[in-house]
Amino acid sequence: MSRRTTLLALAAASLLLSACGEEKVASYRVPKEKEAEIPAAAPQDGADQAQAQPPAGAPMAGANMADTPVPTAQGADLVWQAPADWVQKPAGQMRKATYAVPGAGASADLSITAFPGDVGGELANVNRWRSQIGLTPLHAEDLDATVNHVQANGLDFTVVELASAGDGNGKGILGAMVPYAGSTWFFKLSGPGASLRASKGAFLTFLRSVRAP
């Protein structure tokens, strides 16, 4: 090997050793990845809050519905002419008028009320009166055979006569209902059966006096 070749070989070896000396092996400790945390529930926006909460003034579930006021009919009232021997009494909170109606041995009570809409319809109202004197409800197909109609002054009254089971001397109801101006008016004469039978003619005459103002 020539001197020139030897010098080149030595120079190359020197450079190789120099590069190897500068190389460093580094090790790193990688921290364990932290598990992602579940974020807290975000507050509801205004629309969701309004949906989740009952509207202001609405009765809460389980509230005693017996305390809920029942609206009575407003606006122009019907007018009538009561017989001279009927005694007008204080109407009370829910009534338009109250009369004591003399009968056979005892007076009957006439209440006049009015409520918006049809208040459930004829069948529901007849059955409500039936329940008040201990009678079982009627079926729809039996309604027409139970009621009568009285037309007077452009009004169509549905009239029903009810008596509790027994010898005919128990409690009874002689009632009439009529739609007027978006409401239903009720004329209910209640009392002992004998008193109602004695007052039936006067009651029907009274109905024929009822008219719009």
Residues facing 211 on adjacent strands:
79
Question: pTM here?
Answer: 0.66
Q: Whose structure tokens read 């407003």?
A: 74
Residues facing 183 on adjacent strands:
116, 180
Euclidean distance between CA atoms 80 and 142, whole angstroms: 31
Q: How far is CA 53 from the centre of its chain?
A: 18
> pLDDT averaged over the chain?
75
Note the pLDDT tens digit of each residue in 130-181.
Answer: 999 999 999 999 999 999 999 999 999 999 999 987 656 689 999 999 999 9
How far are the Cα atoms of 145, 152, 211 from residue 130, in angstroms, in the given order?
15, 25, 27
Concatenating the DSSP letter of every residue in 143-159 gives STTTEEEEEETTEEEEE
Q: What's residue 105's pLDDT?
A: 79
Q: Which helix (H) or strand (E) holds 8?
A: helix 3-22
- Above 80 in pLDDT, residue 103? yes
